[in-house]
Amino acid sequence: MVRDDDDPPIQTTSAVRQTETKEKLQKGQEKKEIDDTLVFVDTVVNVGQFVLKCIDAAKNVKIREKLINDTMVASDKIVI
């Protein structure tokens, strides 16, 4: 994708959160409420990342099992 000079700058998650926090504070929300929300969002993101790691680990286990089974089948076919 080619960026045009008129495109807004790409923001990091941290920058987006800072902007959202400032906007919410200007709207009158309490800082504690905002902080609690950010902690909740971080927790959800961390859980999501953990689930993805578990899925990857499960895939790796299945791949290992298949390789072991293939090796066992191949070794059974070897005639001495």
| Domain spans in the chain, listed from the N-terminal domain onward | 13-77
12: left (phi over 0), alpha (psi -120 to 50) or beta: beta
pLDDT of residue 52: 87
pLDDT of residue 43: 81
Q: How many CB atoms lie within 10 A of CB 4?
A: 6
Q: 75 pLDDT exceeds 80?
A: no
- Name the percent of the chain lying above pLDDT 70: 64
Q: Which residue has the higher pLDDT, 30 or 1?
A: 30
Q: 47 pLDDT exceeds 80?
A: yes
